[in-house]
């Protein structure tokens, strides 16, 4: 653990915390909190959306939303949802914008304890929260972030792809539908979203693939449903974005239920 981080006092409150199973498709409308919030899907998939885009977290990720950010949640598959609020005075130790972090074995166990076990000794939850803060502060972001555009021309293109992620249209074809040239749209993807058109569409498709895999669809059927022409190219893209193969992801889902 870093030596320059102050210790968490035993009196720190851990206000809103809890756990519950949510059905596939469960949605929480946009809202904000005066505190920070960690939401962890111990099983299933969580999507958190803010004005800056959508972050997706399968069971090996946890989402972080700082105080004051309006955000909504959608859950895919039967989800074991864990919610942990971080007191405002501690939020400065983490990012000032939404993030998705990898969940280490230690972080997973700490989140499970904090969200479903009563405090047996005074200050125990505060000390365990200090462990969570250390783990998150020392973990690189593993973001499945899909940014959303503000430019009307770019939004017209992304809206078409949101409606049909498997749509095989080229950027030039989408541009004709949106009334913008391929060159203009390519520039806007890089300038406004920080990624290429191909990368953005791949991330969108992986978001949908996570939901399909969570619902038990096979790897081959998921690949075809999300726009890949063959399973091997899907497996390569999924592994690059998520950090594990779709088969391994499904196996971990089975192990966690």
Measured CA to CA, the distance from residue 115 to residue 132 in angstroms comes to 12
The predicted model scores a pTM of 0.78
Give the domain ranges of the chain: 17-145, 149-256
CATH level 2 (architecture), domain 149-256: Orthogonal Bundle (1.10)
Q: What is the pLDDT of residues 157-190, one digit of tens each?
A: 999 999 999 999 999 999 999 899 999 999 999 9
Give 190-197's long-range contacts (Cβ < 8 A, gap of 24+): 192/147, 192/149, 192/150, 192/151, 192/154, 193/147, 193/148, 193/149, 193/154, 194/147, 195/147, 197/171
Query: Residue 24: what pLDDT?
Result: 86
Stretch 226-251: mean pLDDT, rounded? 91
Percentage above 70 pLDDT, the chain: 91
> Rounded mean pLDDT of 106-121?
89
> For tokens 């749509």, what's the residue?
167
Q: What is the pLDDT of residues 47-101, one digit of tens each?
A: 999 888 898 888 888 999 999 999 999 998 888 999 999 999 899 888 888 888 8
Do the beta carbons of residue 225 and residue 217 sit within 8 Å? yes
Has residue 195 got a pLDDT over 90?
Answer: yes
Q: What is the pLDDT of residues 125-156, one digit of tens each?
A: 889 999 999 999 877 666 688 999 999 999 99
pLDDT reported for residue 12: 42
Q: What is the model's pLDDT at position 256?
A: 62
User: Sign of dihedral through CA atoms 192, 193, 196, 200?
Assistant: negative
* pLDDT of residue 14 exceeding 50: no
Neighbours of 40 (CB within 10 A): 25
* pLDDT, averaged across the chain: 87
CATH homologous superfamily of 17-145: Regulatory protein AraC (2.60.120.280)
């Amino acid at each position: 653990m870093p030596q320059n981080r102050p210790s968490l006092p035993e009196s720190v409150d851990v206000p809103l915390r809890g756990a519950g199973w949510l059905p596939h498709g469960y949605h929480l409308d946009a809202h904000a909190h005066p505190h920070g919030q960690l939401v962890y899907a111990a099983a299933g998939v969580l999507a958190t959306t803010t004005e800056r885009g959508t972050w997706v977290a399968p069971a090996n990720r946890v989402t972080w939303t700082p105080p004051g950010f309006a955000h909504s949640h959608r859950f895919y598959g039967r989800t074991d949802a864990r919610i942990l609020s971080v007191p405002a005075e501690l939020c400065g130790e983490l990012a000032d914008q939404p993030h998705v972090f990898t969940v280490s074995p230690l972080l997973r166990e700490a989140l499970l304890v904090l969200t479903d076990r009563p405090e047996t000794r005074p200050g125990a939850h505060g000390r365990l929260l200090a462990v969570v803060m250390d783990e998150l502060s020392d973990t690189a972001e593993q973001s499945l972030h899909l940014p959303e555009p503000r430019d009307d021309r770019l939004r017209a293109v992304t809206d078409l792809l949101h409606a049909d992620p498997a749509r095989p249209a080229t950027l030039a074809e989408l541009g004709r539908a949106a009334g913008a040239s391929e060159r203009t749209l390519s520039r806007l993807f890089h300038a406004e979203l920080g990624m290429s058109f191909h990368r953005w569409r791949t991330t969108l498709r992986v978001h949908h693939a996570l939901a399909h895999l969570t619902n038990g669809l096979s790897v081959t059927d998921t690949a075809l449903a999300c726009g890949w022409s063959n399973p091997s190219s899907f497996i390569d893209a999924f592994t690059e974005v998520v950090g594990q193969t779709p088969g391994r992801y499904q196996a971990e889902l089975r192990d966690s239920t």
